[in-house]
Amino acid sequence: MPEPGTTRPLRVVLVEDHSMVAEALEIAFADVPDINLVASAQSVESGLAVTRAHRPDVVVLDRRLPDGDGIDALPRFREQSPHSQVLVLTGEATTNMAARVVAAGGAGLLVKTGLFTDLVAALRRVAAGSSAFEPGLLAGVLDRLASRDSAEPMLTARERQVLALIAEGAATERIAAELNLAKNTVRNHIQRILGKLNVHSKLEAVAFARRNGLID
């Protein structure tokens, strides 16, 4: 348990089959006080097992694993631990790949060749309820998602407020503060919004809402 007045470290599970990459990240994470690497795995199936056992704040998931594609397996990780965010690492990131991550309910996509400091910042962002994608990918993803045909759903005024703040990039904590709501209440609103829009992620919800005039 953290001491009074301190913040609990982010609990992270790493699913990476390349031992050199995994070992390098484990060593680097050891020097980051607010991140606790609670478990590592080398495959989809072992990753699912440790995710279910540890319920981390964030799963760092390699796209290419011996027993499957990490993006294809992403919904299974979300099923094992619904409150865990999933950040995908890949050798090369494309708009199509980013769109697949969003559609599967993932929170971000980064290249393995990026700076470690960028990965740490991304972990903090997704744990706070935001997204983290390689620069230049997000606009293309939103355009692609916004091109889908959909009917306008019925959102309450409060849900529209929450969605508008999500569109501004606000994390759960900021939304709660601005609307004077408990963080759990905000999370419940977000889940209802996703259900009404029939989407799997906040990025999809924003794209849908903009196309249908639900938010400015």
CATH number for the domain formed by residue range(s) 149-211: 1.10.10.10
pLDDT of residue 93: 87
Rounded to two decimals, what is the model's pTM?
0.69
Lowest mean pLDDT among 12-16, 23-27, 168-172, 196-200: 196-200
136 against 15, higher pLDDT: 15
Q: In this predicted model, which residue has the larger pLDDT, 208 or 81?
A: 81
Q: Please tell me the number of Cα atoms within 13 Å of 3 on its side-chain side.
A: 0
Q: Which CATH architecture has domain 10-143?
A: 3-Layer(aba) Sandwich (3.40)
Helix (H) or strand (E) holding 58: strand 58-62
Residues 6+ apart with CB under 8 A from 174: 165
- What 3-state class would DSSP assign to 127? helix
pLDDT digits (tens, 9 = 90+) for 74-112: 989 999 998 999 999 998 888 878 888 888 889 999 999
Domain spans in the chain, listed from the N-terminal domain onward: 10-143, 149-211
* CA–CA dist 26, 185 (Å, integer): 35
